[in-house]
Structure 1
Amino acid sequence: MKKKMDVEFRGTVDPARNRYPYCIVWTPLPIITWIFPFIGHMGICTSAGVIRDFAGPYYVSEDEMGFGNPTMYWQMSPSTAELSSWDSAVHQASEEYSKRMHNLFCDNCHSHVARALNLMQYNKSTSWNMYKLGFLMVIKGKFVGVSGFLKTWLPFIVLCILVLIVVTIATVVSKTTT
C-alpha cells in the first residue's frame, strides 16, 4: 500500500500529505528561529517525497521531521544529479549520518543534506555545505502556505513587537523621571 501511495505523489509537491519529491525541506527550531528566523531544521526528500533528516545523534528520521512538518521547501531538479541517482545519494547520506554524532555548529541536518547533494554531484558541484544550503533555502525556498509563513515568522514578529514595547516604556519612564 505504501509503495503505491509513494508512486502516486512522485514529482508533485503535496503539503497536505507531507510529500515533497526531490525537495529540500525546512522547519523552524523552537526559540532559535524565533530570534533568527532564517535558522532552522533541514531535511532532504526522496523521489517519492519521503523526508529524511538528521534529527539527532546517530539518528536519521524517515517521514517525520525532528521538529515538525516542513514550513518551506525547495524543489530541486533530479536531472542535474551527475554520479548517482537521487534516491541512492539520499539513502547513502542517511546511512552515513545515522552513525554520526550531531553537532549543532558543524555537523548537523544541513550537513546531511549537503552530503547527499555532494554524493550525487548535484548541479555538477561537490562544494555543497550547510552555509550555502541555509542561504539558498532563504532565497529559493517556498512556504507551504500561509500557515508555513506564520509558523516561521510570527514568533519573531511578536518578539520584535515585545522588545519595541519594552524599549518604548523604558524610554518614556526614563524621560518622566528625569
Structure 2
Amino acid sequence: MADSTEKAETMKNYHIASEKINPLAGRFPHCIVWTPIPVLSWLFPFIGHMGICTSTGVIRDFAGPYFVSEDNMAFGKPTKYWMMDVSKVYASGSSAWDIAVHDASEEYKHRMHNLCCDNCHSHVAMALNLMRYDNSTSWNMVKLCLLVLLRGKHVSCAGFLKTWLPFLTLLGVIVTVALAINLR
C-alpha cells in the first residue's frame, strides 16, 4: 500500500513540475538541462554542456573559470532536460533544492574550469550530492552524462536536430567516403 501511495505522490510531483516547464521562456523547474558544445558534441553527441535549474526554473551552469552563469548557458539554450522529482531531495522540498543549487554555484565560483575533471557536470553533481538527491552522495559527471542521455527529453524537434543532426551528417560523410574508397 505504501508503495502505491509513494508512486501516486511521485506522479503528482511530476505533473505539477511538467506544467511549469516552459522551453520558450527557458524555464525548467527542478531540472537538469543540457545543450551541445560545437564540434565536441558533433563528434561525441553524448558529451555536452550541463546546468541545473532552481525551483523557479532559473538555469545555473558552470560556464568557465570562476564563473557560474545564471540564465545564459555558455553554449546556448537547452536542447534537452531531465525533470527531477523534488520529493527525492533528502530534506524534501523546493527550499532544500534551491539551497543546494546555490551552495554548489557559490563553490564553483571559486574553481578553475577543467574540461576533463572539474566541469559543468561536476557542478551539477555537487548540487545533487549536497541535496542528497535520491538518498545518494555518489553523483558524478559520468553518471550524469549517461543519465541525461538516457532519461533526458528534447525540448522540441529543433532541439533534437541541434543535438543529433551534426553528428549524423558527419557520420554520413564518413560512411560515404569509406564506401567510395572501398569501391575503387
TM-score (norm 1): 0.89
The equivalent position to 1:13 in structure 2, one of 15, 21, 27, is: 21
Q: 1:52 aligns to what SS in structure 2?
A: strand
Task: For residues 8-61 of structure 1, give each alpha carbon's deviation from its aligned partner in whole angstroms, at most 9, with x where no partner exists.
Answer: xx9311001000000000000111110111110000000000000001100000
> Which one has the largest radius of gyration?
1
Amino acid in structure 2 at the alignment position of 1:50: V
Matched to 1:119, the amino acid is L
Residues 108-135 of structure 1 show CA distances to partners (whole Å, capped at 9, x for unaligned) of 0000000000000001100100011111
Secondary structure of the residue aligned to 1:82 is coil
Cα deviation digits, residues 122-165 of structure 1 (max 9, x gap): 01100100011111111110000111110000000100111112
- The whole-number CA distance in structure 2 between the counterparts of 1:73 and 1:105 is 22
Superposed, 1:17-166 pairs within 5 Å as 17-83=25-91, 85-166=96-177
What amino acid is aligned across from residue 128 of structure 1 in structure 2?
Answer: W
SS at match of 1:17: coil
* Cross-structure match for 1:172: 183
Instruction: Compute the displacement of 1:79 (Å).
Output: 1.4
Deviation at 1:71, TM superposition (A): 0.4
Aligned-pair RMSD on alpha carbons?
Answer: 1.1
Is there any run of 5+ residues in structure 2 with no aligned partner, and where? 1-15
- Measure, in 2, the Cα distance between the counterparts of 1:19 and 1:34: 26
What percent identity do the matched residue pairs reach?
61
What is the CA–CA distance in structure 2 between the aligned matches of 1:146 and 1:101, rounded to whole Å? 35
Q: How many residues align?
A: 164
C-alpha distance in structure 2 between counterparts of 1:64 and 1:49, whole Å: 12
Q: Secondary structure at the match of 2:60?
A: strand
Unaligned segments of structure 1, at least 5 residues: 1-9, 174-178
Question: What secondary structure does 1:16 align onto?
Answer: coil
Moved over 6 A (4+): none
Give how far 1:98 is off.
0.6
Letter in 2 for 1:143: H
Q: Write the letter of the residue equivalent to 1:70.
A: P
The 2-side partners of 1:130 and 1:160 are apart by 26
Structure 1 residue 172 displacement after superposition: 2.4
